[in-house]
């Protein structure tokens, strides 16, 4: 399990690195309330000659109640909508997966594609037919990322910027 800088993990997020591991969460990513990350045992995606159960790129937003189930690769600047499911899939950079959508069955979604609300993308043909992200959806995803990016900095105000050997927070 590796979580990089400036990652926001909201309340009630479940990062279950119990079966499939390792997980990698890149910088400036946010996992909103109720997100679940889980992976299958011995199933991987390869990134830079390393294997991961789940790999999440930079500046990714995973909205409330979404499920990311490995093996799975989520590219940079992806938005995963409310209650969406991404399982056994590769998602290209800048893609927007709308609410209640499902992307599964080893599909590869190209960069900057839009998965509409409630869509079931379970074949490569369906993935190949996806349109480019509409401007309003792109702007919404960017705004969610901007707002959620402010949360990690507030951790230091709330919990302190340092920890003593006993674990108690303090500001230096």
Considering only residues 121 and 11, tell me which one the structure prediction assigns the higher pLDDT.
Answer: 121
pLDDT per position as a tens digit, 159-168: 566 656 665 5
CATH of the domain at 13: 2.160.10.10
At 74, the pLDDT band (50, 70, 90 cuts) reads: very high
pLDDT at 66 over 90: yes
Structural domains of the chain, count: 1
Catalytic residue check, 138: no
Instruction: Determine the average pLDDT of the residues in 54-68.
Output: 97
Could you say which of 19, 139, 143, 150 is catalytic? Answer: 19
Q: At what angle are helices 135-149 and 151-159 packed, to 10 degrees?
A: 10
| Token reading at 31 | 């996992």
Cα–chain center distance at 76 = 9
pLDDT of amino acid 145: 83
Task: Give the Cα-Cα-Cα angle 6, 70, 78 (nearest 5 degrees).
Answer: 45
Domain range enclosing 145: 2-170
Measured between alpha carbons, how far is 146 from 148 in angstroms, rounded to an integer?
6
pTM above 0.75, yes or no: yes
Q: For the beta carbon of residue 134, count every other beta carbon within 10 angstroms.
A: 12
pLDDT per position as a tens digit, 8-17: 898 899 999 8
């Amino acid at each position: 399990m590796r979580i990089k800088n400036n990652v926001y993990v909201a309340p009630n997020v479940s990062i279950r690195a119990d079966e499939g591991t390792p997980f990698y969460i890149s910088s400036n990513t946010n996992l909103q309330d109720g997100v679940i990350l889980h992976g299958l045992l011995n199933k991987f995606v390869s990134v830079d000659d390393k294997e991961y159960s789940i790999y999440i790129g930079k500046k990714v937003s995973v909205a409330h109640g979404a499920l990311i189930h490995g093996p799975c690769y989520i590219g940079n600047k992806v938005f995963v909508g409310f209650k969406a499911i991404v399982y056994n899939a590769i998602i290209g950079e800048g893609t927007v997966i709308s609410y209640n959508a499902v992307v599964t069955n080893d599909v590869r979604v190209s960069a900057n594609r839009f998965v509409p609300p409630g869509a079931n993308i379970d074949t490569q043909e369906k993935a190949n037919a996806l349109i480019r992200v509409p401007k309003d959806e792109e702007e919404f995803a960017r705004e969610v990322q901007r707002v959620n990016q402010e949360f990690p900095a507030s951790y230091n105000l709330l919990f302190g910027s340092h920890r003593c050997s006993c674990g108690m927070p303090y500001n230096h």
